[in-house]
Amino acid sequence: MPLLPLPLLLFLLYSRAETGQIIGGTECKPHSRPYMAFLEIVTSRGPPQACGGFLIRRNFVLTAAHCAGRSITVTLGAHNITEKEDTWQRIEVVKQFRHPKYNESTLHHDIMLLKLKEKAILALAVGTLPLPSQFNFVPPGRMCRVAGWGRTGVMEPMSDTLQEVKLRLMGPEACSHFRDFDHNLQLCVGNPKKTKSAFKGDSGGPLLCAGVAQGIVSYGRRDAKPPAVFTRISHYRPWINKVLQAN
């Protein structure tokens, strides 16, 4: 039976983030991923939600389209999202650019640009992440990393520090159980024989392959069994460039 996608965003409870860790990962060295952004999302229904994202320009963050909300606040320079540090830069989002073809039911084109109210101040703990060119089609077999504040297990509570995990890019056949998987638009990430995966709360975070952001955490299975599906960034370079140039 084809599986329905489960978007990997999480509710924030009591203003404390219910965003545990990546499954099977390890805690990052504090501030070793200076491009990481923590998103607090206010929606018109229910409690606030959390996603990841990453800084690609001083005033732009890239994330997943399903992380859109009524208002979004971005925290840069964070490691433990419950302990405020001098490195933190909290900036409001003034405009959300969801991909015009984003489809909520298939989660195709699950990509969004966020324009920040002011430019981030680049520092040791806050930096930008390079994107691939349009024709950089990253092949299966490659080992990449994903970072995020998402859960460490299906029933696990949150932990507050940034986690990362190494995941292998799989061929499209490994994601054939996802009804709407499209190899041209998406990446199939995570060896099904391993327990490592991105999970709830990791949505919008980057997949890093050789220092370049190749994917964005999009969706996975309810039981968190890998692989998970990531948006393939290279496919969207023309759209990203267009939005950045116009803004």
Q: Residue range 195-216: average pLDDT?
A: 83
CATH of domain 34-128+237-246: 2.40.10.10
- The whole-chain average pLDDT of the chain stands at 86
| Catalytic position from the list 31, 99, 110, 159 | 110
pLDDT tens digits, 41-86: 998 888 888 889 999 999 999 999 999 999 999 999 999 999 999 9
Question: Is it the case that residue 118 has pLDDT exceeding 70?
Answer: yes
Which H, E and C letters describe the chain, residue by residue? CCECCEECCEECECCECCCCCCECCEECCCCCCCCEEEEEEECCCCCCEEEEEEEEECCEEEECHHHCCCEEEEEECCCECCCCCCCCEEEEEEEEEECCCCCCCCCCCCCEEEEECCCCCCECCECCCCCCCCCCCCCCCCEEEEEECCCCCCCCCCCCECEEEEEEEECHHHHCCECCCCCCCEEEECCCCCCCECCCCCCCCEEEECCEEEEEEEEECCCCCCCEEEEEHHHHHHHHHHHHHHC
pLDDT tens figures, 127-149 = 999 999 999 989 899 999 988 88
Does 66 qualify as catalytic in the annotation? yes
Residue 1 has pLDDT above 70, yes or no: no
Identical topology for domains 34-128+237-246 and 142-234: yes
**pLDDT of amino acid 202:** 77
- Of 159, 197, 203, 218, the active-site residue reads 203
- For residue 133, what pLDDT is reported? 94
pTM: 0.90
Is there a catalytic annotation at residue 31? no
Chain segment 211-244, per-residue pLDDT in tens: 999 999 998 887 778 899 999 999 999 999 999 9
Domain ranges of the chain: 34-128+237-246, 142-234
Active site residue 44: no
Which of the following is catalytic: 31, 66, 108, 109? Answer: 66
Higher per-residue confidence, 12 vs 64: 64
Topology adopted by domain 142-234: Thrombin, subunit H (2.40.10)
